Every structure is written in C-alpha cells, then in structure tokens.
Amino acid sequence: MAFHLQRYMTGGVARVVADSLRATKQTPREKAFMRRFAASAAKASALRFREERRGEHIPPFLIASITSACNLHCAGCYSRENNACCDSAPTNQLTAQEWDHIFTEAELLGISFILLAGGEPMLRYDVLKAAADHPDILFPIFTNGTYLHDRYLEVLDAHRNLLPIISIEGDETLTDTRRGAGVYAFVTAAMEKIRDKGMIFGASVTVTTENMHEVYSDAFLDGLFARGCKAVIFVEYVPVSDESTHLAPGDREREWMQTRVHQLRRKKRGMVFISFPGDEKSSGGCVAAGRGFFHINSHGGAEPCPFSPYSDVNVRDTSLRGALRSPLFRALQDKGLLLDDHVGGCTLHMHRDEVRTLADAAQPST
C-alpha cells in the first residue's frame, strides 16, 4: 500500500495526545486540558484532511523561533554557529501582533502544535501572552529554564496550552559543562517549583556520544519524573563544525537509541518519549520543509528546519499557506533530498551546500 504522509502524521499526533492523556492522569487540571485539546486536535486533523483532498498538504507542526536573543552560550550551539542567535535581539524581529496573526492562521489551517523556540523564548513575554489566547493549539516552549520565575509561572499556570520544555544535558556535570556553571541547580529547582504548583513540564535533551548512556538511563529519567517531568524529547546532536563531528551519534548509536526508546515507552507509562529524528524513520524520510513541519525564524523567514536556516519567502510578505508553497520547499521535496540517509541525524545539514544552492535559485528576481 502506498505511504500516506497525512495519515502517518495524524496518527503521530493521536499517539502523542493519547500518551499525554495517560501521563497527566494524576494532575486533574492538566488532564482536563488534554481532554479538551484532544477534541481540538481531532478537528484540526479533519481540516488537514480536507485540505489534502483539495491538493494542499498542511503539516500538523510548526516551529516558531520567536526571538534570536539568548542569555546563555551553550557549547556547540547550532543557532549561534548559524548566526541565528545573539546576546540581544535586533529591532526587526516579528512583533507580538504579527505572531498572533500567524497563530490564528495556523489554527485555521489545522496546525495543532506550535513549538516556541529561540534564542530563549521566555525573553518574549508578549508573544507568550499572545500564544495563551489560542487554547486549541498546544505550545511547547523550548526554554533553557533560567527565566522560569513567578511572573512566567503565573501565565503557565493560567494557560495550560503553554507547556515548558526545559533543556537539560544529563547530570550536573554534563549540563553545566555545556550550558554554564550553576544552570543545572537552577533548572532542577525550577522543575520542582512547577511540580509543586500542580503543573507539568517536559525536558529536551541534546543527545551526543558523550551523554547518551546517561540521558537514557533509568536513574536520570526517574529523577526527572520525580521532579514532575511528563515528557522527554531526545534530539540527536547535529555537528556545527568539523571539530564536533565526533559528538554526533552514528548508525550503531542510533540503533541502540531507538531500541531504548521503545523499551522506555513500554516500561515508563507515566511519561511521553519523543525521539528526533529517530521517530521519522517510518515516515518516508525527513519531515521538514512542510512535510511534517517547517520553521519560521524570528524575522519571519520560512525555513525548512532550524538546522537548515535557508529561506526564499517571508511570512511578512505572504500567508502561511503561501510559505508552504515555497519554491525551496517544493524543490527539496521534488529532488529527494529529504529522503536520503545521513550522518548526525540531519539530512538537510549533511546536504547544506545543496540546500543553500536551491535557496539561492529560488529567490525572487529583482
């Protein structure tokens, strides 16, 4: 039978929602929200299938980098390496009103999940408030955790569609080595504060050859669960320089990680485990460039993926639907670059020179 991408992506959404319902059964307010969101996600899936019948493929996910500013200097950060991240935000970033318009259009198209990233997204309190007004969309907020103080916790508590996903690299030594001295103590204290308020959160782990056995261990994951963590997103490290290629998991490591994720899903039923890009293996290739998601940078450029920061359209000049029709996205799909196997977990990064050439060719003539 032919592979049906929309059916596959919708099934993935349904699995995440079902796992989340199970993981929130002990937290009444979170469970009540997830029940409402399950109904919203089903309606969004119907919208996407309607568009599919009309010949338009709409992905269920969007990644929104709402700022390029960040207060940390994490070792090996792909965003700083790509000059997409800096200490202070430039003035030409999308406004909260522009992001609110994007969220509204995404909802009308049937996009169920918008991942808020950066930089450090907690620096954009105005955008978080705008996101809070869209309860039918789930907004995982990928944060370094250093801004999780009372002002933000009040907003997160009142609007359960805002879900903090806190970055952690393993134990204290591993986390502080990559993120800076004292970060581990700060974020674990923030986790416990969130738990004590009856809220849930997730954790994002960048998996390298140096920390993989630690971050997949029962001890580490049980420690996160005890602090209230209900979801763990494992993201394979993408090398940003020749000197860091040894940190990228290879074929043997990726096979071990996928086996381990399947074990964890069976053993630890109170948590949700997502593996990126490991969960893409049965999807017919990379799901970037509009197949399963795409990325909008802080200035409005529509990009295939945060790891592939090339753009030929800007959402200030077109709609989300128009961005999905990007010549670059179409070229990546038509030329099969999304289907290739790769080193370091990211086919677009491996073929970055080809992607850059396609992006240059897709630029509108002046």
- In a domain? residue 366: no
- The reported pLDDT for the residue numbered 344 is 46
- The domain that holds 284 is classified in CATH as 3.20.20.70
- The reported pLDDT for the residue numbered 57 is 93
- In a domain? residue 364: no
- In a domain? residue 172: yes
Tell me the pTM.
Answer: 0.91
- The reported pLDDT for the residue numbered 343 is 47
- In a domain? residue 40: yes
> Using CA atoms, how far apart are residues 82 and 308, in angstroms rounded to an integer?
9
- The reported pLDDT for the residue numbered 10 is 65
- In a domain? residue 152: yes
How many domains is the chain built from? Answer: 1
- In a domain? residue 334: yes
Residues of the chain with pLDDT under 50: 1-3, 342-344
- The reported pLDDT for the residue numbered 60 is 92
- The reported pLDDT for the residue numbered 295 is 96
Q: What range does the domain containing 115 cover? A: 5-359
